[in-house]
Amino acid sequence: MSSSYPPLAQALVDRMAEAAAAAPDRAVAFQGAPGAYSHQAVREAFPDRLPLPCASFEDAIEAVQAGRAGVAMIPIENSLHGRVADIHFLLPESGLSIVGEHFVRVRHCLLALGEKASLREVKSHVQALGQVRRHLRAWGIAPVQYFDTAAAAAAVAGDGDASVGAIASRLAGELYGLNILAEGVEDADHNTTRFVVLSREAAVPPLGIPAMTSFNFEVRSVPAALFKALGGFATNGVNMTKLESYLRDGKFSQAEFYAEIEGSPQEPPVQRALEELAFFTNWVKLIGTYPRARDRAA
């Protein structure tokens, strides 16, 4: 756990960690301070389990690997900012399986100890500040960067300065006793983060339940390798919802890809498509098959 959390946040971290240590199978690890949007995702998806704050994505994943938590809730992409940095390296290397997904509508709140008229500046993560810049400009409030949205709320509550506010979740405001002066102050009304649930054991849903499958692969270094590798999904009528490339170890010759499809390897069309993919790639690694949380076009 990080020792750089503001005191109010650290006190909550310590209590949550103690509760999780007493019942690790019920713990859900997440990255960030209590009140972060990842914490909100845990509360929405697992209301009866124990949230376990972690300082980094690696720490949250390691908590599951070591048995200190049953699962981890990790953000994978945002509708405004795209994929979360490094997550496509962490997922396959973790040895964990994706067993679920959850979407969180990000609704930023203006939080403070006093009234909006008293505010001169607000603290928050740089991305959150960028997402509310029009409101801040209209209100004449200066943005101040902080390493975490929820930690910014904890710092504001602990410092006791009514001229400084925070941009964070409603949950953060409630946890740290701040006034919610405005809600939904983000400039874009579609700001949504998708989370995946990671577990030590795979849990493929039964046939008949709409499913997603995530996997990585590396194409062979030959002409039209990607075209040939993906042809099986088209010919078998399998919908691919995501395909992103990345390079590893400074190599520019062979790209690795992270992909997601609708369906399960238990279904014959998906099975045939994956077999064809394997024929034209150096390797394929399935990361998980899990229930689909919502229609991607919604």
What amino acid positions are annotated as catalytic residues?
Answer: 193, 195
Burial of 92 (0-12, 13-18, 19+ CB in 10 A): middle
Using an 8 Å Cβ cutoff, are 61 and 94 in contact? yes
Separation CA 6–CA 12 (nearest Å): 10
Using an 8 Å Cβ cutoff, are 9 and 33 in contact? yes
Nearest 10 degrees: Cα torsion 149, 150, 155, 156: 80
Q: How far is CA 72 from CA 47, 49, 259, in A?
A: 14, 12, 21
Query: Which stretches of the chain are assigned E, i.e. beta strand?
Result: 27-31, 50-54, 71-78, 82-83, 97-105, 109-112, 121-124, 142-145, 164-168, 179-183, 192-199, 211-219, 240-246, 256-262, 281-291
Angle between helices 149-159 and 7-22 (to 10 degrees): 120
